[in-house]
């Protein structure tokens, strides 16, 4: 399997993009300039958006420095792909100011695991002997 595309972005506390790496187009189909100032929910179905609101509210409330989640996003062309996102809290002058996120395209890996019946990230735990890493 190929190496997954990775992008980085930041949002304010309300979830509006304040920075997006130029590679965002390879994952989402959108350019970084067209996304600055837009809300991250642009990529999510309502159920996923609600799950993430709850998750990141809990992260901020409990001051959890970093979390990782897998979920599906909708690309500009309407197709849906799986991504893995690590979200880190951003602090400025002792005040929580937003999130810095690293997003990785894991769609190929998820499809591979599904096709062989493997749900584990670890090769040794896959009962079918397939390897999620290739």
Which tokens belong to 91? Answer: 């602090």
Grouped pLDDT means (10 residues each) for the chain, 134 residues: 79 96 94 96 97 96 97 97 97 96 93 66 50 48
Residue 35: which residues within 8 A CB-CB, separation 6 or more?
17, 20, 24, 28, 42
Sequence-ordered list of residues with C-beta below 8 angstroms from that of 109, at least 6 positions apart, any chain? 1, 4, 82, 132, 133
Strand order in 6-12's β-sheet?
17-20, 6-12, 95-105, 80-92, 66-74
Q: What integer pLDDT is reported at residue 51 of this predicted model?
A: 97
Q: What is the pLDDT of residue 1?
A: 46
Q: What is the pLDDT of residue 121?
A: 52
Model pLDDT, residue 36: 97
Torsion region of 87: left, alpha or beta (phi above 0 gives left; psi -120 to 50 gives alpha): beta
Q: What is the largest CA-CA distance in the chain?
A: 51
pLDDT at 68: 97
What is the structure's pLDDT at 128?
A: 44
Instruction: Tell me the backbone φ, ψ of residue 2, rounded to 5 degrees.
Output: -75, 160
- From the list 105, 106, 68, 112, the residue with the least C-alpha distance to 86 is 68
Task: Please tell me the total number of residues recorded for the chain in this structure.
Answer: 134
How far is 111 from 129, CA to CA, in rounded Å? Answer: 16
């Amino acid at each position: 399997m190929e190496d997954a595309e990775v992008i980085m972005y930041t949002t304010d506390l309300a979830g509006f993009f304040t920075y997006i790496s130029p590679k965002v187009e390879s994952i989402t189909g959108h350019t970084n300039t067209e996304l600055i100032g837009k809300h991250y929910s642009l990529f999510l179905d309502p159920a996923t958006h609600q799950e993430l609101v709850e998750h990141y509210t809990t992260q901020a409330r409990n001051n959890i420095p970093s979390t990782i989640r897998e979920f599906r996003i909708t690309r500009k062309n309407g197709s849906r792909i799986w991504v893995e996102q690590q979200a880190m809290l951003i602090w400025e002058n002792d005040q929580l100011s937003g999130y810095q996120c690293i997003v990785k395209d894991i769609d190929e890996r998820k499809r591979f695991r599904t096709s062989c019946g493997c749900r584990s990230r670890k090769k040794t735990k896959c009962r079918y002997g397939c390897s999620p890493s290739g």
